[in-house]
Structure 1
């Protein structure tokens, strides 16, 4: 395994949206929020899709459930991990194979699950 291949290595991302599962191959080091949006998935509700902080980790509206253990870097994600609520997709860097579930959002910042 060569060291130079690691910079462009890809990982597997499985997105669960209701009953549908989509598998993507993602370049390691990408922000999950960006990957989701580029693939046509939104971590936001209908309202927060337009009114959000743009991925700065301030509005807490881009939450997703992550199946694998991913070390939290952002204060919100440390709290989310501790109390079991969704992690911010804008603060998750895809460094390993991941399975994420889009959660249903009901109103600004509130979640069904």
Structure 2
């Protein structure tokens, strides 16, 4: 099996608090799916089961992006403007990206 052509993949560098991890993903992938498939879920233990399934409704898959791509979703446009975490389910990977998984709060409690 040959390696994918570099123009067919993007690099996703993840800072999850335990160090940096480098992933490759097909161009056009959703960031949420890439993170979950690699074992770096953007969700907390509770919201991993109680979420909207990647439809951009619940806001539980927020991540911080360095040099983030232009927002495609209304929530991400607000997040970009006001400094909120971006919804990983609404980020289509078109270029290399650096992702920071923030500490999550659920109902006023830090996980």
The normalised TM-score by structure 1 is 0.86
2:48 corresponds to which residue?
A: 49
1:63 corresponds to which residue?
A: 62
**Dislocated runs of 4+, deviation >3 Å:** none
| 2:30 and 2:92 in contact (8 A); partners too | yes
Question: How well do the aligned residues superpose, as a CA RMSD in angstroms?
Answer: 1.9
* Matches for 1:12-51 after TM superposition, within 5 Å: 12-51=11-50
| 1:103 and 1:111 in contact (8 A); partners too | no
1:77 corresponds to which residue?
A: 76
1:101 corresponds to which residue?
A: 100
Count of equivalent residues = 106
| 2:32 and 2:88 in contact (8 A); partners too | yes
- Identify unmatched segments of 5+ residues in structure 2: none
C-alpha displacement at 1:57, in angstroms? 0.3
Identify which range, 88-97 or 40-49, moves more after superposition.
40-49
C-alpha displacement at 1:111, in angstroms? 9.3
- Identify unmatched segments of 5+ residues in structure 1: none
The normalised TM-score by structure 2 is 0.88
C-alpha displacement at 1:19, in angstroms? 3.5
